[in-house]
Amino acid sequence: GENVEQHPSTLSVQEGDSAVIKCTYSDSASNYFPWYKQELGKRPQLIIDIRSNVGEKKDQRIAVTLNKTAKHFSLHITETQPEDSAVYFCAPRNTGFQKLVFGTGTRLLVSP
Amino acid sequence: DAGVIQSPRHEVTEMGQEVTLRCKPISGHNSLFWYRQTMMRGLELLIYFNNNVPIDDSGMPEDRFSAKMPNASFSTLKIQPSEPRDSAVYFCASSLTGGRGGTEAFFGQGTRLTVV
């Protein structure tokens, strides 16, 4: 948690391509790694999460991979669709503490 | 449960007026967060509560901002006096933490504040 950065800040892909968003964090005690999606004019909602005892998790077209040593985790979206267009936020967290800080956000645009 | 409920959805006020935003968290959740979202600053954490107690208000921009949580089912964020630079979308979120913790944060629909 705490210092949380995302790259890239914007990402444009063609429909059907893959997209990867990376989140880096500074708190080595972080042990919970969620990704949230915020569509235009809507609230952020959790789409996938992973805990530190797992290196990778997949749910249909989305997956999250974790590299605790390097202190980063990534969101992978395959076969992108226009409805994947949104802002994506990571929020790494130490589950022993309640504080919830979001990353800087990545705007994904999927063109038909 | 109807989810996190915020009111009002939209608020337009004149500079210098007092603004009060309200939030009802999901029943049973013990953590509540207030965020401000703008294009320039993204999603900023203003303050959070655990078991109705303010834990960290380091994100509150200045003394014009205050927040309370008188009970487990209600919280307010007040701006007095309001300024045009306070215009933003304000989100309230709640979650259940403790034990293994780290569970999902559920957001309200937000309040879009415009100060003219």
pLDDT digit string (tens) for B23-75? 999 999 999 999 999 988 899 999 999 999 999 999 998 899 999 999 999 99
The answer to whether the CB atoms of B42 and A93 lie below 8 A apart is: no
pLDDT per residue as tens digits for the range A52-106? 777 999 999 999 999 999 999 999 999 999 999 999 999 998 877 778 899 999 9
Q: Is residue B101 pLDDT above 60, yes or no?
A: no
- Which of B26, B58, B107, B112 best tests the A interface by mutation, with the highest count of A CBs <10 A? B107
- Strands A56-59, A45-51: pairing is unpaired
Q: Does B110 touch chain A (CB under 8 A)?
A: yes
Q: Does B109 touch chain A (CB under 8 A)?
A: yes
Q: Return the ∠ at Cα B26 (arms to B20 and B31), rounded to 5°.
A: 75
The pLDDT value given to residue B98: 65
Q: Is residue A40 pLDDT above 80, yes or no?
A: yes
The pLDDT value given to residue B96: 86
Task: Tell me the average pLDDT across B8-32.
Answer: 96
The pLDDT value given to residue B102: 55
| Residues B70, A25: Cα–Cα separation, whole Å | 34
In chain B, which residues have their Cβ closer than 8 Å to the Cβ of A50? none
Measured between CA atoms, how close is B107 to chain A, in angstroms? 6
- Which of A9, A53, A100, A107 best tests the B interface by mutation, with the highest count of B CBs <10 A? A100
Token output for B111: 């309040």
Which amino acid, one-letter code, is at A5? Answer: E
Q: Is residue A32 pLDDT above 70, yes or no?
A: yes
The pLDDT value given to residue A54: 79
Cβ atoms of B67 and B10 closer than 8 Å? no
Token output for B96: 């259940």
The answer to whether the CB atoms of A43 and B33 lie below 8 A apart is: no
Task: Tell me the average pLDDT across A27-49.
Answer: 94
Q: Is residue B103 pLDDT above 90, yes or no?
A: no
| Residues B56, B46: Cα–Cα separation, whole Å | 8
The pLDDT value given to residue A106: 97
Across the interface, which of B42, B93, B109 has its CB nearest the CB of A105? B42
